[in-house]
Amino acid sequence: MFLKFVGKYRDFGLLLTRLGIGFLYVYLHGGPKLLGGPAKWAEVGKAVGALGIHFAPTFWGFMAAFAETAGGICLILGFVFRPACLFLISTMFVAASMSLDKGGLFDAAWPIENALFLIGLFFVGPGKYSVDSKLNKV
C-alpha cells in the first residue's frame, strides 16, 4: 500500500534528486575548480593524460570545471537536462579513467557510480518539475 502511494510522487523524487546532486556538483566539485583559476584547471586537466591526451591541460581542466558547474546548474533547473547529463558523464569517464590508471577499481568506484547514475537520469529525464518539461511540454 505504502509503495503504491510513494509511486505517485515519482516526479517529486526526481526533483529532489536533481536538486541534491546538482547542488553537490556545483558546490563541491565544479565551483571550486572553476574558481581555482588557470593553475587549478591545468592540474585538473592532466587527468585526460589517462586517455593519451597530453596537450592543453588548462583547456581540458576548464572544460571539466565548467561541465561540473554548468551541468550541476542544469540538473537543478532541469534545463537542457540530457545534454548536461552527457557532459557530466564524459567528465566522470575521464575521472574514472584517471582513477583506474592511478589507484585501481576502488579509487575509480565513485566516478563510475556517478556515471551510471547519470546514465540512468539521462534515460529517465528531468521529470515534470523542470524547465525542460515546461518548455517542451514533456
The average confidence (pLDDT) of the chain is: 93
pTM for the structure as a whole: 0.90
Q: Taking 60 as the threshold, does the pLDDT of residue 138 lie above it?
A: no
52-104 pLDDT tens trace = 999 999 999 999 999 999 999 999 999 999 999 999 999 999 999 999 988 88
* Nearest in space to 75 (alpha carbons), one of 85, 65, 63: 85
Q: With pLDDT > 70 as the criterion, what percentage of the chain qualifies?
A: 97
Q: What are the sequence ranges of the domains in the chain?
A: 10-34+63-132
Per-residue pLDDT band at 137 (split at 50, 70, 90): low
Per-residue pLDDT band at 2 (split at 50, 70, 90): low
Rounded to whole angstroms, the Cα distance separating 18 from 20 reads 6
The contacts of residue 57 (CB under 8 Å, 6+ apart) are 41, 42, 43, 44, 45, 46, 48, 49
pLDDT of residue 35: 96
* Nearest in space to 66 (alpha carbons), one of 114, 31, 118, 18: 31
Per-residue pLDDT band at 5 (split at 50, 70, 90): confident
